[in-house]
Structure 1
Amino acid sequence: MAEFIKLYDENPSEREIKRIVEVLKNDGVIIYPTDTVYGLGCDITSNRALERVAQLRGVKLAKANFSFICEDLSNLSDYVRQIDTPTFKLLKRALPGPYTFILPGNNNLPTVFKKKKTVGIRVPDNNIARAIVSHLGNPIISTSIYDEDDVIEYTTDPELILEKWDKLVDVVIDGGYGGNIPSTVIDLTSGEAVVLREGKGELTI
Structure 2
Amino acid sequence: MHRQELSSMVLGKIQLMEGDTDNAIQTYLQALHLSPESTELLTTLGLLYLQNGLYPKAFEYLGNALTYDPTNYKGILAAGCMMQSHGDYDVALSKYRVAAASVPESSPLWNNIGMCFYGKKKYVAAISCLKRALYFSPFDWRVLYNLGLVHLSMQQYTSAFHFLSAAISLHHGNATLYMLLAVALTYLDDTENAKNSYQQAAGLDQ
The TM-score with structure 2 as length reference comes to 0.34
Higher normalized strand content (fraction of residues) = 1
Larger Rg: 2
Flag the structure with more relative contact order, 1 or 2, with Cα contacts below 8 A and sequence separation at least 6. 1
The TM-score with structure 1 as length reference comes to 0.34
